[in-house]
Structure 1
């Protein structure tokens, strides 16, 4: 979930950056458009003028000077005679023509053809840059649209993942409250198992006619300890004789099997059970096994399978079948 949130933040950041770049680009375009309008206005003014080059400009200046001289002479003639009505009648727009010439002269006074060419070249460069910027805007817009489409497409998935995340969070809470070692459920199940095994094992010990009257399993830290109640008081299992320890071990295993197995126990395998017993306790162990077999067979068909190198102690015992394996 975290990597999806990071990916969303990354997409949102890219989207914001693209929008900022788009805004900056739009501002640049607005400035360029304003310059283009100014240049187009100047260009139209120049194009509408009959003057196209420096030679024509010189001709216009010469004509203007000649017309001014003529105008001065005409004014002198008019002032010294009565030709004014006839001249005005003959050339009614002469005054307006002179005014237009003066106006045009003022407008083209500072005209420089080199500057015009430079401005026209700059306009072409700006138009080219404008096209490139428009292409960049199109690319950015496409990226923004793609990012928005990707976000919209993933929204249902993200919603489901958020819902799944809540379920997982609830399951984790259930797990920590039920299945942790310190939860009431696990503690109760562990206490139940320990008490049940203690009770079952004690019943088997009673059948074996040992001095142990009751066997108690209890938890100490992370370990399970065994406390034996005998006719002489409480004794830890380490203080029992070898034969008694064998009986306790068998009783605990049988008690565990009663708890763990739903159907009656049919078989139990013991591997080298007499390895650390002396001769006397070995014989005692054989008696215990025979007695347990007899007791178990009262409830169901049961048998021990014993794997041992100590085959002598079983020669006189009442066992069902003996198999002897030798290396070749």
Structure 2
């Protein structure tokens, strides 16, 4: 039961103190006068909860000069539970931050010490602060004391505007949902969802331990085993087929090896035969080439020696002629020298003679008379003689040129003689050997060459070789070839090569078959290993799956809204509400004796009983509807724990009622509390319908008014 409320700077209340007593307490006043703030102050003090979103919005605003917001805001609430009395205090600063929160319990007379805390009674501190991380919280302690959370108080102790008539006016399906929420089945839904999370976490843990598998994969894993077994069977069949092929191919390969082994020595001889035939053919080619070289060399020698001998036949004549020409050149050169000297003298005389010429019979020097000149100084004579000498010199020069040319020709012949002698020396020609003997040798070589050249073959394969025995070496080779031909007469090299090619192909086929066998064997081993591991995995999952199934059953039966537990809780709640509502409706004395809540698959119907028997809610009078609604609400409050909190707050319970129903409502609650038959000690009504309480027997009526100093509260 609420004893006292002190509000300081809280919403519109700058400083308000309210004392509460057993019975009915009514708050009247216009909208905005601060009535509903009382509900926020109660929930704020108890649970740090309210309808104003932020704590900062709880501070009084707009009353400058009358309040000091710097001190923040606080609420103090005294309440009792049974015989225990408590005081809860909560204070915030100007920013809405929590400054302090504490819960104190009144010390009983026999236990009270001499130390007194407070003005009237002594209190001991139960808890202080909201250190939730340390498990120390005023809210948690209040919940323990009241055995009720904020959410539960909203359902059981505070009936908001419109909730009173909502019960009886709502559709049966809506009423069932409302009842589910009232008795906490919505939280059971949360538990149902949370249980799903727990199961999924359990599955997650299972998946972490099993490589990503849980009970949902069992069908897939069993199918995998079945599929693996089918694959193993198919792989074994394929392996059997491969092994048969391996056996057949191995036999074929062995047969080819034997055939090749028989043919191989003969093939070696055949190869040796081909080598000898090639050697013989190459021998004839080489012999032909060497004879040709020897013929060319001997022919060249004979030709050069003959030419040299021809040159040397005139050797003595050439050498003598060279000496004679050389002597003649010397004579001609001497004569040319002499003639050149004479010509020089004559030219000198010509110059002197020209100076000694007589003009008019007188000497050009002494001017004496001269009858004649010496022939020596006769210019004409000198000129004639000079002309003769020059002509002779020209003739001699021409003769010298001829001798030089002749000498050059002779020098060439001399060089040819030297070259011929060198040729004779180089060829080491013996003059005693006639050149004809060399020509005979050349003839024989040419004859041998022609014989060998005609024998040079393109190929000696299957060629009769008796004609090829031209010398000892070729005869020896041909004899060997003949012997080998006898040994390999029935050998087919193409067949041998074909068998080798076939062997390689068969060998490759065998290798591929062994690869296929290895792949199939590994596949079988892997599948068997995987199957074994999957079997083990299934066993593990199945053992855990049974536990998960149990959890799912618990979730379905205990936490499912339509499960056994939920249905039992709902049945219990409906029976208790029906029982208590029936008791209250009898107290209200409106002609009804029993109220029953009946559950159907998706709805809960309200059925009333009176003197006329069963009465449908649609046919109830206005007063009866108010009485039934209040009786059910009180029954719900009793169910939700109102017997412990011992109070209920009705916010605007008459808002949607007509005049007759409002009066009926006031009369019912007045009669109940005056007669002492109320199930509660305290009923707090918040309403703006002041007039309906004017002639009532309710004594505790507070009027709320808004002033410039904030909300003003006075008893009337």
- Shorter-chain TM-score bucket reads 0.5 to 0.7
Are 1:223 and 2:603 matched, yes or no?
yes
Are 1:144 and 2:361 matched, yes or no?
no
Asked whether the equivalents of residues 623 and 664 of structure 2 are also in contact (C-alpha less than 8 Å), the reply is yes
Counterparts of 1:1-328 in structure 2, within 5 Å, are 1-47=218-264, 52-53=269-270, 112-167=492-547, 191-220=571-600, 222-261=602-641, 264-268=644-648, 270=650, 272-290=652-670, 302-304=682-684, 306=686, 310-313=688-691, 316=694, 318-319=699-700
**Structure 1 residue 203 displacement after superposition:** 0.8
The verdict on how the C-alpha distance between 1:186 and 1:31 changes in structure 2, with shifts beyond 3 A counting, is same
TM-score (norm 1): 0.65
The verdict on how the C-alpha distance between 1:303 and 1:147 changes in structure 2, with shifts beyond 3 A counting, is farther
Secondary structure of the 2:615 match is strand
Structure number with higher relative contact order (C-alpha < 8 Å, ≥ 6 residues apart)? 2
| 1:50-80 per-position Cα deviation (integer Å, ceiling 9, x unaligned) | 87439969xxxx9xxxxxxxxxxxxxxxxxx
**Structure 1 residue 31 displacement after superposition:** 1.5
Note the aligned Cα RMSD (angstroms): 4.2
2: CA distance between counterparts of 1:313 and 1:110?
142
Secondary structure of the 1:277 match is coil
- The structure number with the bigger radius of gyration is 2
* Aligned residues between the structures: 277
| 1:255-306 per-position Cα deviation (integer Å, ceiling 9, x unaligned) | 2343454963544454553243211321222343455567899766544465
Larger relative strand fraction: 2
TM-score (norm 2): 0.33
Secondary structure of the 1:264 match is helix
The verdict on how the C-alpha distance between 1:109 and 1:285 changes in structure 2, with shifts beyond 3 A counting, is farther
**Structure 1 residue 248 displacement after superposition:** 0.8
2: CA distance between counterparts of 1:302 and 1:174?
41
The verdict on how the C-alpha distance between 1:290 and 1:127 changes in structure 2, with shifts beyond 3 A counting, is farther
The verdict on how the C-alpha distance between 1:292 and 1:112 changes in structure 2, with shifts beyond 3 A counting, is farther
Instruction: Name stretches of at least 5 consecutive residues in structure 2 with no aligned partner.
Output: 1-217, 275-461, 463-485, 707-716
The verdict on how the C-alpha distance between 1:208 and 1:4 changes in structure 2, with shifts beyond 3 A counting, is same
2: CA distance between counterparts of 1:155 and 1:238?
65
Asked whether the equivalents of residues 666 and 693 of structure 2 are also in contact (C-alpha less than 8 Å), the reply is no
Asked whether the equivalents of residues 267 and 305 of structure 1 are also in contact (C-alpha less than 8 Å), the reply is no
2: CA distance between counterparts of 1:323 and 1:137?
98
The verdict on how the C-alpha distance between 1:154 and 1:206 changes in structure 2, with shifts beyond 3 A counting, is same
Larger mean Cα displacement after TM superposition, 33-42 or 181-190: 181-190
**Structure 1 residue 114 displacement after superposition:** 1.3
